[in-house]
Amino acid sequence: MHIEALKSIKFNYKLNSAKYNYQKTIDILRKNGTSITRVQPPRYLSNGRLGNRILVNKLSAEQLLNKFDIPTPRSKVYSIDEMLQAKEVFFSNNINSKAVIKPYSGSLGKGVIVNISRDRFEFNWKELVNTQKNLNKVIVQDYLEGFEARATVIEGHLNSVTVRVPPFVKGDGKHSIENLIDIKNEERNICKVLSLAKIKTTSVIIEFLRSQQLSLDYVPKKDEYILLNSVSNFSYGGELINVTDLVGDEIKKRH
């Protein structure tokens, strides 16, 4: 948005490189190339530096929440060579539970594998190690069923509540899951934004279907909804639904 605005008013600018797109800064320049100011990645002025540093570290954020008796998925960190130890520790304490494994450093849900049973733990661990570059540590967590709701609070006031729904397809009684994914992706071409976030049939989706005793060949019944993943990122084909008006006043007041 900043770049489009600068282009429209014909201002000179320079986009500075960074590890991730959201970390990039923009230098606004005079005609002679000297800098007027630098536009930093967006951060609310009321968010202190300490809070920001805690939030960007998954484990620090979890430890802080635990101190206030707020439940978390109980994360443990292992090196990539400690697969058997991670499996034994998790399932000895959670016999009938399912696990989540994810890269120690990452964002946008990349590399996150969910709903992992004991007999599929080693397969998924190896899949994660083989598909993620420069991976040296793995986080193991409890798998929690349900949808993710994100509340936006600005200056102490609740602004909106958005549910992030993982990618899914709706059955018609005729087409397989694989066909329904293709059909949904074609429909997404109508919207430029959605066309950039098509559902990709990855090993993560195949494994998630397997955890539900399903495969890409399964033909869902008419109006049957099939979740394809538990990771709800928009870039993976997830969808955003505004549910602010559906949230009770009691929950809203907690913010």
> What domains does the chain contain, in order, with CATH numbers?
2-39 (no CATH), 73-142 (3.30.1490.20), 148-253 (no CATH)
What is the chain's Cα-based Rg? 22
Q: Confirm if 1 and 13 have CB atoms less than 8 A apart.
A: no
3-class state of residue 138 by DSSP:
strand
- Closest C-alpha to 62, from 76, 50, 43, 49: 76
In contact, 85 and 78? CB cutoff 8 Å: yes
CA angle 96, 114, 194 (to 5 degrees): 150
pLDDT tens digits along 121-178: 999 899 888 888 888 899 999 988 877 888 888 777 888 999 888 899 999 999 999 9
User: What pTM, to 2 d.p., does this model score?
Assistant: 0.64
| 82-104 pLDDT per residue, tens | 999 999 999 987 766 889 999 88
